[in-house]
Amino acid sequence: MHGSGTLQLSSGARYEGEFKDNMFHGTGTYTFPNGCIYNGQFCKNRLEGDGAFTDAQGLVWTGKFNGETAWGLKLQQSF
């Protein structure tokens, strides 16, 4: 799959954004089954680049993501 679209996974997770070679690649939003949300850049199905992660309690981390690692994040309280 190439281009933009939405993928609803059987786990309850949902991805909406850009695809390349059947992978999340480019800008998108991934909603985890537990309600956490990542909005930002993806590279080959990985959180990669600038983004924002909102946990289930509404805390927001923004910064650069590198796969499973986040660099230089700022924590913001969301109300």
Q: What pLDDT score was predicted for residue 67?
A: 77
Q: Which pLDDT belongs to residue 50?
A: 94
Structure tokens at 5: 């679209």
- Domain-located, residue 35: yes
The DSSP letter of residue 45 is: T
CA 33 to chain centre: 13
Quote the domain boundaries for residue 14: 2-65
What pLDDT is stored for residue 79 in this prediction?
A: 42
Total of domains in the chain = 1
Give the C-alpha separation, 7 to 37, whole Å.
Answer: 15
pLDDT in tens, 25-79: 999 999 999 999 999 999 989 899 999 999 999 999 999 998 754 554 555 554 4
Q: When comparing pLDDT for 46 and 17, which is higher?
A: 17
Residue 5's CB is within 10 A of a number of other CB atoms, namely 12
Domain contains 79: no
What CATH number did the domain enclosing 41 receive?
2.20.110.10
